[in-house]
Amino acid sequence: MPLYGSRNPPPLQSQTVSRTPWLFLVLSSTAILISYADRANLATCILPMAQDLEWSLSSQGVVLSAFFAGYALTGLLGGYLADRFGGSRVLQAGIILWSVCTFLTPAFAKAGLGAMVLDRVLLGMGEGVAFPAIHAMIPQRVPGPSRSLAVSLITGASYLGAVIAFALSPFLIEEAGWPSVFYFFGALPVLWFPVWWAWGEERSEALEGKEAESEEKAKCGEGHPLSNPSSSNSQRIDLTPSSAPSTAAFPTSSAPPEGLTWAQARFLLARKEVWAILVAQYTQAWGIYGLLSWLPSYYSKTFDIDVTQLAAFTLAPYLLQTLVGIASGYLADSLIAAGWSIKRVRQLLQTAGTVLPALFLLLATTTHNTSSDSASSLLFSFLYVTIGAGLSAFTLGGVSCSHLDICPRNAGLVFAAGNTLATVGGLVSVPIAGLVLEKCGSFDAVFALFAAHYVVGAALYAAWIGDKDILQEL
């Protein structure tokens, strides 16, 4: 029995597609890599900037958090516009805005604290549309059996972008001063745009037209690539395992994007499948944004690690997340190809990406409380925290794909809603963790708080998530 449970299954689609999906994945991943590098470079630059511009600690906190305010403002808007007018235009507009803001950061910083905050808010607004725009394009440009891997590759690029920013920024600061960091990263899209215009945007739009034409011909039993192996569309490759089920098993959307009506929006907000995504994104943000934001302070306060040595401890989680995230997408697609239901795969990987990190966080608290050997204590705490943070990337094969399963035609907007709540989770978790740390004097209660959110989110997601296109019930 097919996994897709609708009364009206989607039109037949080819399991062999042109090379366009790979170009789309590479270029989209590069865009996300640049966005996260532009986001993360301030974390290193803030130290020399604060010295030169005489910013207090509270002022530094305002500057660092301003990005998230802008990011939260445009997530839903970006998803709506991408579903309505196409993700390519929205993505390009976002890249232009955040790149200009990155390049002009030194000028805004020297103009005053208010100007710097405005610059970071605008940068956040530009980056806020990137993921929704890309996720709105995935259902039209990536075949169903490869979407989990596509999501993991694109999201994995975000971790890699942070790693590159943390690695290159100190070198650029030492060689040419902190303004050079923003000039370098702000100029990178100059190399990206010509490639996107030449191969990403044009060929993707051509693919959408070919898919629509292919579906029309399939209704007459002719012209479909599966029924006509000698199709004139050359250079075709198979993106899925040979044992993969038909793409009819996946909710799909080869039609042009469209905006939601109010009736559809109300219907979605009343569905537990949508709330599974929203709750999961919010709760896991406590363990992702919250933990990684406080990680330098954890090592510094608990083990007296010098600031100059922190990079060795804080880069490791991002590197492991990159590897685990890509493996998660491949594993998800392989399990589905082996006959597992989409819902079961999402539940498994989401549970692994939340419950396991919660367990490792709790293990980290017990290690530094019971070990008398400070070196051993540091080693095991580092391993537990790094492994736990890295395993959280298993969610890329879970909730990070669910919007493509339950609402492919409006995937950008549903993703944006979840991503916005994740940003809210980050905004809330960081200051609350600080208050808990101030009250308790150690990170035990902070890590326990993060772990509790992980577990609650995992339970609700597993209970509520689905794998069918819910809008077809209207």
Token readout for 445 is 């209660």
pLDDT value, residue 115: 94
Do residues 38 and 222 make contact, with C-beta atoms less than 8 angstroms apart?
Answer: no
Q: How far apart are CA 154 and CA 134, in angstroms?
A: 9
pLDDT value, residue 146: 74
pLDDT value, residue 186: 94
pLDDT value, residue 385: 92
More reliable by pLDDT, 59 or 119: 119
> Mean pLDDT throughout 360-369?
85
Token readout for 266 is 């109300």
pLDDT value, residue 202: 46
* pLDDT(350) > 90: yes
pLDDT value, residue 31: 94
238 sits in which H/E element: strand 236-238
Q: How far apart are CA 80 and CA 415, in angstroms?
A: 10
A 10 A CB-CB count for 178 gives 23
Bridge partner list, 448 = none
Q: How far apart are CA 26 and CA 17, in angstroms?
A: 16
Q: What is the mean pLDDT of the chain?
A: 79
* pLDDT(364) > 80: yes
Q: Could you tell me the pLDDT band of residue 362, with boundaries at 50, 70 and 90? A: very high
* pLDDT(348) > 70: yes
pLDDT value, residue 308: 61
Q: Is residue 464 left, alpha or beta, with left meaning phi > 0 and alpha meaning psi from -120 to 50?
A: alpha
* pLDDT(229) > 70: no
Q: Could you tell me the pLDDT band of residue 4, with boundaries at 50, 70 and 90? A: very low
Q: How far apart are CA 44 and CA 84, in angstroms?
A: 38
pLDDT value, residue 209: 47
Residues 6+ apart with CB under 8 A from 446: 290, 294, 433, 436, 437, 440
Q: How far apart are CA 309 and CA 326, in angstroms?
A: 28
pLDDT value, residue 6: 39
- First-to-final CA distance of the chain: 23
Longest dimension (CA), the chain: 76
pLDDT value, residue 419: 83
Do residues 185 and 41 make contact, with C-beta atoms less than 8 angstroms apart?
Answer: yes
Region of poorest pLDDT, from 84-93, 231-240, 255-264, 375-384: 231-240
> Mean pLDDT throughout 59-79?
81
Q: Could you tell me the pLDDT band of residue 272, with boundaries at 50, 70 and 90? A: very high
Give 279's DSSP letter: H
* pLDDT(25) > 70: yes
Token readout for 180 is 């050079």
User: Closest by alpha carbon to 288, among 328, 264, 256, 317?
Assistant: 317
Backbone angles phi, psi at 170, to 5 degrees: -60, -40
Q: Give all domains of the chain, ordered by start, each with its CATH number.
A: 17-222+250-259 (1.20.1250.20), 260-474 (1.20.1250.20)
Token readout for 393 is 């990337």
Q: How far apart are CA 347 and CA 462, in angstroms?
A: 5
Percentage helix, strand, coil for the chain under 3-state DSSP, each rounded to 5: 80, 0, 20
Length of the chain: 474
Token readout for 307 is 């600031």
Q: Could you tell me the pLDDT band of residue 281, with boundaries at 50, 70 and 90? A: very high
CA gyration radius, the chain: 23
Q: Could you tell me the pLDDT band of residue 276, with boundaries at 50, 70 and 90? A: very high
* pLDDT(249) > 70: no
Q: How far apart are CA 150 and CA 158, in angstroms?
A: 13
For 5-18, what is each residue's pLDDT tens digit? 334 434 434 333 33
pLDDT value, residue 428: 79
Q: How far apart are CA 156 and CA 319, in angstroms?
A: 9
* pLDDT(384) > 50: yes
More reliable by pLDDT, 140 or 25: 25
Q: What percent of the chain has pLDDT over 90?
A: 32
pLDDT value, residue 360: 96
Do residues 471 and 252 make contact, with C-beta atoms less than 8 angstroms apart?
Answer: no
pLDDT value, residue 11: 41
More reliable by pLDDT, 68 or 462: 462
pLDDT value, residue 368: 64
Find tokens 């039609």 and name the residue.
255
More reliable by pLDDT, 56 or 172: 172
For 164-181, what is each residue's pLDDT tens digit? 887 888 888 888 889 999
Ordered DSSP codes for 132-144:
HHHHHHHHHHS-G
* pLDDT(280) > 60: yes
More reliable by pLDDT, 357 or 305: 357
Q: Could you tell me the pLDDT band of residue 201, with boundaries at 50, 70 and 90? A: low
Distances (CA, A) of 152 to 130, 147, 249, 356, 394: 15, 9, 20, 19, 9
Distances (CA, A) of 374 to 242, 307, 361, 366, 385: 52, 18, 18, 13, 16
Q: Could you give the 3-state DSSP secondary structure of residue 236?
A: strand
* pLDDT(121) > 80: yes
Q: How far apart are CA 186 and CA 102, in angstroms?
A: 5
More reliable by pLDDT, 294 or 124: 124
Q: How far apart are CA 407 and CA 411, in angstroms?
A: 5
> Mean pLDDT throughout 132-141?
82
pLDDT value, residue 226: 31
